[in-house]
Chains A and B, each alone.
Chain A
Amino acid sequence: MSKIVNRTKSSPSFFRELNRNKALFLMVLPGAFLFLLLSYLPMPGVLIAFKDMKFFSSNLFTNFFQSKWVFFDNFKFFISSPDAYIITRNTILYNISFIVLGNVFAVVFAIMLDEIKSKYFVKTYQSAFLLPYILSWIILSYILYAFLSPDLGFVNRSILEPMGLPSVMWYSETKYWPFILFLLNTLKYTGYNTIIYLAAIAAIDESYYEAAAMDGASKMQQISKITVPMLSGIVIVMILLGVGRIFNSDFGLFFLTPMESGSLFNVTNVIDTYVFRALRGTGDIGMSAAAGLYQSVMGFVCIMTVNMLIKKFDSDKAIF
């Protein structure tokens, strides 16, 4: 009922608007079409996870509709494999460390940068901080290799050897990788986060600090009583946004920097790399789709929860 009512009410005004703003509709058309093809069309494709997807015709839709429903078979395989636990654990633990320490570093650096009143220095430091951000993960994996290569690497040859320590086979020893991955992620994104927080600090009204200084507040007191509380809003939003993506990870970091070393999978395999390997490596579409849907659903739950929390905390910042 309500649908029909809606229709009769909105149709004429839609066409009137279409006629009036023809050009604006034309302007959104290419983008809207691309979103439709590349974002909306794949969405119902999550159902592939419940199918035994076969390709007997050249038409993707025919293949999709005629493939057999296997319901939860793909999930049973996925859940019962030891990988499910490992990739979930890795994804979540890495993300938690990235979110917590990443934001702490960025806030501390931003506060320090703000104390350097010289524009010249701030700009120079910013350039350096952002360098890792503009390099691709491929380049960063080459850089890492320059340090960690077992036979020629800088660490083995120029640090451990002169100290009389034995070489380390970096690409096969799992125990170092949580730290290596954390270090790389921090290096790549701290500059980015620092700039965001620096902008937030710059937006704080200078008169607060002047008044505090008049009253004899020390620098530390000003930071803990003015800067940090004023920043807490954006920090919480950044943390919550991170939590909303806690089931996703930076594919390049986990796939490229360990150079696909199989002996490291226990600590480097995350949901994204698992989905990719299942699709492109073993060609197991069902398994890949199941893991992908698992990630999407968990991510959806996280985003909804986070949005609810943001709404409670500061309704202006809510995503929807």
Chain B
Amino acid sequence: MSTSYNVNELKPAGKMMIHAIISAYAVLCVIPFILVVAISVTDEKTLGQMGYSFLPTKLSIDAYRYILTGSNMVIQAYGITILTTVLGTILGLLVTSLYAYAISRKDFKYGRFFTGYAAITMLFNGGLVPWYLVCTKLLHLNDTFYALIIPYLISAFYVIIMKAFFQSGVPDSIIESAKLDGAGEFRIFFSIVTRISLPAFATVGLFLALSFWNDWWLPMMFIEKQSLVNLQFLLYRIQNNMVFLTSGLVSSDASASVADMPAESARMAMAVLATGPIILAYPFVQKYFVKGLTLGAVKG
């Protein structure tokens, strides 16, 4: 293929220029994060003298050691983040896919009604205050673990993406023949539809997982209790006040620990730890991610 001559390809010079421009922007996208990684592995004293820089003149992993052993707060926040991400993604996928599948069925007379019922929520909302009051004064979500999951379980946007997937990917004939074989609707859904629509589940599941992992908004609205703080919210809390971390110290000699806390590098090490898993997972799931983006744009 590569040897075939295509009359409409750019000349090498033009191509080089495009590569130059695009790779310059690509570097611009990536390099800021590299700075954070570099700071996190730089010796604290060196940081004080030289400032933040891309090249750590003196390497040190004190920041990571400090974070992971000095305070149980980070571990706890990691636990909350992982738990909300796993539970939220599973439950969210379940609720979203069931809803989307039902409204994608042509023989469901109220499919159109429920499509509109979902779509309206994208266009209109009561605003922050009534939503906050319903969540705190009616559902009493404040300072509960559910507050970190329930509000994100369903969104019309994902429903519509999934509906589009089901409409194009699940042939009516399969459903009909399964029905003739005597399978019930739920059986059809769980043993046939889920299997032939794996990419749909992967795509929406990925977006859900990302939104739960990256969430700081829900804890900011609802959480005061330290034991329910997730990673992103912990990062928000220590943004201005690194000493905050020391209130959860395991060590009894807190004053000594505050003094030798590698505050600057630990701050950035936290950011790296909070981002690490999604960056590591990203190359493997990029395909679904891009698919979801384009489909969402066309349908949304």
Q: Name the one of B53, B108, B186 contacting A154, with C-beta atoms under 8 angstroms.
A: B53
Q: How far is the CA of A109 from the CA of B24 in the complex (A)?
A: 12
B198-238 with Cβ < 8 A to chain A: 210, 214-217, 220-221, 232, 235-236
A259-B240 contact, Cβ under 8 Å, with A136-B232, A143-B33, A280-B221: yes
A43-B126 contact, Cβ under 8 Å, with A126-B290, A147-B32: yes
Q: Let me know if B22 and A116 touch, CB within 8 A.
A: yes
* B176 within 8 A of partner (CB): no
When distances are taken between beta carbons in the complex, the residues of chain A under 8 Å from B184 are 23
A103-148 with Cβ < 8 A to chain B: 109, 112-113, 115-117, 121, 123-132, 134-139, 141-147
When distances are taken between beta carbons in the complex, the residues of chain B under 8 Å from A147 are 32, 35, 52
Q: Let me know if A60 and B137 touch, CB within 8 A.
A: yes
**Residue tally, chain B, CB below 8 Å to A:** 104
* A219 within 8 A of partner (CB): yes
A38-B123 contact, Cβ under 8 Å, with A113-B22, A123-B286: no
Q: Let me know if B102 and A27 touch, CB within 8 A.
A: yes
When distances are taken between beta carbons in the complex, the residues of chain A under 8 Å from B215 are 136
Q: Let me know if B131 and A27 touch, CB within 8 A.
A: no
Nearest B residue (CB) for A199:
B294
When distances are taken between beta carbons in the complex, the residues of chain B under 8 Å from A132 are 29, 32
When distances are taken between beta carbons in the complex, the residues of chain B under 8 Å from A209 are 8
Nearest B residue (CB) for A156:
B51
Question: A74: shortest Cβ distance to chain B, in Å?
Answer: 11
A-B contact number at CB 8 A: 288
A196-B134 contact, Cβ under 8 Å, with A112-B21, A295-B127: no
A128-B26 contact, Cβ under 8 Å, with A27-B189, A116-B19: yes
Q: Let me know if A43 and B29 touch, CB within 8 A.
A: no
Q: How far is the CA of A137 from the CA of B105 in the complex (A)?
A: 38
Question: A201: shortest Cβ distance to chain B, in Å?
Answer: 11
Q: Let me know if A196 and B294 touch, CB within 8 A.
A: yes
Q: How far is the CA of A214 from the CA of B135 in the complex (A)?
A: 63
A285-B129 contact, Cβ under 8 Å, with A27-B101, A32-B114, A128-B30: yes
When distances are taken between beta carbons in the complex, the residues of chain B under 8 Å from A292 are 127-129
Nearest B residue (CB) for A111:
B18
Question: B211: shortest Cβ distance to chain A, in Å?
Answer: 9
* A192 within 8 A of partner (CB): yes
Q: Among A44-52, A77-85, A91-99, A173-181, which stretch is in contact with chain B?
A: A44-52
When distances are taken between beta carbons in the complex, the residues of chain A under 8 Å from B14 are 115, 219
When distances are taken between beta carbons in the complex, the residues of chain A under 8 Å from B274 are 138-139
* A300 within 8 A of partner (CB): yes
Q: Let me know if B129 and A129 touch, CB within 8 A.
A: no
A116-B18 contact, Cβ under 8 Å, with A39-B125, A135-B33, A146-B35: yes
Q: Let me know if A296 and B99 touch, CB within 8 A.
A: no
Determine the interface band of chain A, counting residues with CB < 8 A from chain B. Answer: 35 or more
* A166 within 8 A of partner (CB): no
* A69 within 8 A of partner (CB): no
Question: A25: shortest Cβ distance to chain B, in Å?
Answer: 8
Q: Name the one of B51, B107, B132, B279 contacting A279, with C-beta atoms under 8 angstroms.
A: B132
Dominant secondary structure at the A interface: helix
Question: A22: shortest Cβ distance to chain B, in Å?
Answer: 8
- Mark interface residues in A266-309 (1 if CB within 8 Å of B CB, else 0): 00000010011001100001001100110110001001000000
A152-B52 contact, Cβ under 8 Å, with A35-B117, A138-B216, A142-B268: yes
A24-B105 contact, Cβ under 8 Å, with A41-B134, A279-B128: yes
When distances are taken between beta carbons in the complex, the residues of chain B under 8 Å from A63 are 137
* A12 within 8 A of partner (CB): no
B93-134 with Cβ < 8 A to chain A: 94-96, 98-99, 101-103, 105, 107-110, 114, 117-121, 123-134
* A31 within 8 A of partner (CB): yes
Q: Name the one of B124, B139, B278 contacting A300, with C-beta atoms under 8 angstroms.
A: B124
A36-69 with Cβ < 8 A to chain B: 37-46, 48-49, 55, 60, 63
Interface centre among A34, A112, A154, A295 (most CB of B within 10 A): A34
When distances are taken between beta carbons in the complex, the residues of chain B under 8 Å from A102 are none
16 further A-B pairs in the complex, CB-CB below 8 A; given A109-B22, A136-B215, A138-B216: A23-B186, A27-B98, A34-B154, A35-B156, A38-B134, A63-B137, A115-B18, A124-B26, A126-B290, A130-B286, A131-B33, A135-B278, A136-B214, A146-B35, A157-B53, A251-B217
Name B's A-contacting residues (CB within 8 A): 6-10, 14-15, 18-19, 21-23, 25-30, 32-33, 35-36, 39, 47-48, 50-54, 94-96, 98-99, 101-103, 105, 107-110, 114, 117-121, 123-135, 137-139, 150-151, 153-154, 156, 159, 184-186, 189, 210, 214-217, 220-221, 232, 235-236, 239-240, 264, 267-268, 271, 274-275, 278-279, 282-283, 286, 289-290, 293-294, 297-298
